[in-house]
Amino acid sequence: MRREIPLIIFIFWFETFLFAAEAGMPQLDSKYWFSQSFWLILIFLALYLSLSKFFIPKIKDNLDNREKKIEENLNAAKEFTDLADKKKLDYDNEISNAKKEVAKIINESKKQLDKNINKKKNEFEKELEKEINKAEKEILNLKKNSSKSINSIAEEISEKVIENLTGEKLNNSSIKASIEEVSKIKMDKYL
Amino acid sequence: MHQFQVYRLGPEIKLGNVDLSFTNSSLFMLISALSICIFLYFGSKKKGIIPSRLQLVAEIFYNFIAKMISDTAGSKAKPYFPFIFTLFMFVLLCNMVGMLPYSFTVTSHIIVTLVMAVFIFIAVTIIGFVKHGLKYLSIFVPKGVPVVLLPLITVIEIISYLSRPVSLSVRLFANMMAGHTMLKVFGSFVISLGLLGGWLPLSFSVALTGLEILVAFLQAYVFAILTCIYLNDALNLHH
């Protein structure tokens, strides 16, 4: 029992406090009912009139304006996209035309170039042939000349050699004849 | 309780035998109404394509009520939009202003909610009779009910129809009063338990305040949507 004493005290204290909070219901006091109704009707009516005549149309206007403007902008955007698509098509056409023209020009100049190259080639070949002929003739001349000079050199050398060996001067014409004989036989071997 | 006490402010105004003095209740009605006007003034002042914050909130409220009306009562209820919008905003602001400390909650008085509910009841009944004539009485005779049950059902329907203003007003009044009473009780717990034990009721009353703000919005919404439903019954007779 002693243990419960604090609890009982607490409950009693709690109860008095609860009753203190509840001091009747002023809502049921009819003293100001008419006043409250009167002011409610007055203020509500004023609020209703100002809202329905002034604020609600304004908000509605704002909303309608926004919707209209968004729609207009969307339409304008659509028009612009269409325009852009058209421009893109034109551009593509122009590009493909230009490409065709470029191919044509390249083809033509290629043909012209081939022609020129062939012409030059022919001319060059002709000139080359001429030069070759000339060179061959020269070589032939050189061959002949060289055989003659070889003969004369051989004559001189053999004359000197014979002179040194024998101390006698031999007849020029006999040496010449023998050298010509030898060279006729052997010249083809060396030249 | 002191927070529900109505007292006279300024001089006594008497019309014959009737006391029409300006009271603290009238003052807070006026504060709520003026707050609505100021809010909507700044919410509709600028005509920007991209709305400012306040404008966005005002437009959200507008669209919210417009959608609620078209969902519950159809397109026929469009002319009543300003009334329902005003009703919703007024009840909401009265509830919300009442959440401020030391303020007075207008909607926690049965007479205020009763006047609104009775007005709605009478207006809806008149609209019903004007639109449909005596056919409006068929609202008390639901379709597809066996003939044997019909007398009973009709009596029940009449009683439920007549109790509409009472249920509408008492719902709002009782919710507001109960919430504020609970806040008051927990508030006095904090004082009496002191620094040592007061923390628990304090945290409780913080949570309750959040709940009460939700209730304030919810009750305004319920009040408006029930008005819409009653209006729907009067405008579109079939159900």
Q: Do B26 and A39 touch (CB under 8 A)?
A: yes
The C-alpha atoms of residue B153 and residue B157 are separated, in whole angstroms, by 6
Answer whether residue A182 shows pLDDT above 90. no
Which has the closest alpha carbon to B86: B216, B213, B212, B223? B223
Answer whether residue A179 shows pLDDT above 90. no
| Distance of residue A1 Cα from the nearest chain B Cα, in angstroms | 25
The three-point CA angle A132-A135-A138 to 5° equals: 155
The C-alpha atoms of residue A84 and residue A66 are separated, in whole angstroms, by 26
Q: Which residues on adjacent β-strands are paired with residue B14?
A: B19
Question: What's the pLDDT tens digit per position in B82-98?
Answer: 999 999 999 999 999 99
Can you read off the two tokens belonging to residue A117? 């190259």
Using an 8 Å CB-CB cutoff, list chain A residues near B37. Answer: 47, 50-51, 55
Q: How confident is the model at residue A191 (pLDDT cuts 50, 70, 90)?
A: low
Using CB atoms within 10 A of its CB, is residue B181 exposed (0-12), middle (13-18) or buried (19+)? Answer: middle
Q: Do A39 and B192 touch (CB under 8 A)?
A: no
What residue spans define the domains of chain B? 2-235
Q: What share of chain B is helix, strand, coil (3-state, %, to 5)?
A: 80, 5, 20
**How many helices (H) and strands (E) are present in chain A, helices listed first?**
4, 0
Q: Do B18 and A61 touch (CB under 8 A)?
A: no
Question: What's the pLDDT tens digit per position in A81-96?
Answer: 999 999 999 999 999 9
| Distance of residue B26 Cα from the nearest chain A Cα, in angstroms | 6
Mean pLDDT computed over B186-191: 89
Using an 8 Å CB-CB cutoff, list chain A residues near B5. Answer: 26
Please give the residue that has the higher pLDDT: either B80 or A153. Answer: B80
* Residue type at position A31: K
Whether B237 contacts B139, CB under 8 Å: yes
Q: Which residues on adjacent β-strands are paired with residue A163?
A: none
Question: What's the pLDDT tens digit per position in A1-20?
Answer: 566 776 666 665 665 555 54
Question: What's the pLDDT tens digit per position in B88-143?
Answer: 999 999 999 999 988 999 999 999 999 999 999 999 999 999 999 888 888 888 88
Q: What share of chain A is helix, strand, coil (3-state, %, to 5)?
A: 90, 0, 10
> Residue B143: its pLDDT value, please?
83
The C-alpha atoms of residue A19 and residue B179 are separated, in whole angstroms, by 18
* Residue type at position A93: N
Angle, helices A172-190 vs A56-166, to 10°: value is: 150
> Residue A20: its pLDDT value, please?
47
Question: What's the pLDDT tens digit per position in B160-181?
Answer: 999 999 999 999 999 999 999 9
Question: What's the pLDDT tens digit per position in B214-227?
Answer: 999 999 999 999 99
Q: What percent of chain B has pLDDT over 70?
A: 99
The C-alpha atoms of residue B37 and residue B52 are separated, in whole angstroms, by 17
> Residue A45: its pLDDT value, please?
96
Mean pLDDT computed over A141-154: 83
CA-to-CA dists, residue A69 to A60, B48, B55, angstroms: 14, 11, 17
Q: Do A44 and B116 touch (CB under 8 A)?
A: yes
> Residue A16: its pLDDT value, please?
56
Answer whether residue A154 shows pLDDT above 90. no
- Supply the mean pLDDT for chain A: 85
Can you read off the two tokens belonging to residue B124? 């809806």
Q: How confident is the model at residue A28 (pLDDT cuts 50, 70, 90)?
A: confident
Which has the closest alpha carbon to B238: B150, B156, B125, B128? B128
The C-alpha atoms of residue B172 and residue B154 are separated, in whole angstroms, by 27
Q: Do A47 and B90 touch (CB under 8 A)?
A: yes
Using an 8 Å CB-CB cutoff, list chain A residues near B58. Answer: 59
Q: Do A31 and B19 touch (CB under 8 A)?
A: yes
Residue A35 half-sphere exposure, CB side, CA atoms within 13 Å?
23
Q: Which residues on adjacent β-strands are paired with residue B8?
A: B23
The C-alpha atoms of residue A95 and residue A87 are separated, in whole angstroms, by 12
How many contacts, defined by CB atoms under 8 Å, are there between A and B? Answer: 133
* Residue type at position B227: T
Whether B28 contacts B103, CB under 8 Å: yes
The C-alpha atoms of residue A125 and residue A119 are separated, in whole angstroms, by 10
Mean pLDDT computed over A41-45: 95
Residue B171 half-sphere exposure, CB side, CA atoms within 13 Å?
19
> Residue A185: its pLDDT value, please?
74
Q: Which of A14, A27, A72 to mutate to test the interface with B (most CBs of B within 10 A)?
A: A27
Which has the closest alpha carbon to B229: B133, B139, B115, B105? B139
**How many helices (H) and strands (E) are present in chain B, helices listed first?**
7, 2
Q: Do A27 and B173 touch (CB under 8 A)?
A: yes
ipTM: 0.91
Q: Which of A13, A52, A59 to mutate to test the interface with B (most CBs of B within 10 A)?
A: A59
Question: What's the pLDDT tens digit per position in B18-66?
Answer: 888 899 999 999 999 999 999 999 988 887 778 888 999 999 999 999 9
Q: How confident is the model at residue A21 (pLDDT cuts 50, 70, 90)?
A: very low
Q: Do A51 and B59 touch (CB under 8 A)?
A: no
Whether B105 contacts B98, CB under 8 Å: yes
Q: How confident is the model at residue A189 (pLDDT cuts 50, 70, 90)?
A: low
> Residue A162: its pLDDT value, please?
81
Can you read off the two tokens belonging to residue A131? 């030069």
User: For residue A53, what is the nearest residue in chain B, using CA coordinates?
Assistant: B82
Highest mean pLDDT among A146-155, A159-168, B37-46, B113-122: B113-122
Q: Which residues contact B142 (CB under 8 A, 6 or more apart)?
A: B153, B157, B239
Q: Do B188 and A17 touch (CB under 8 A)?
A: yes
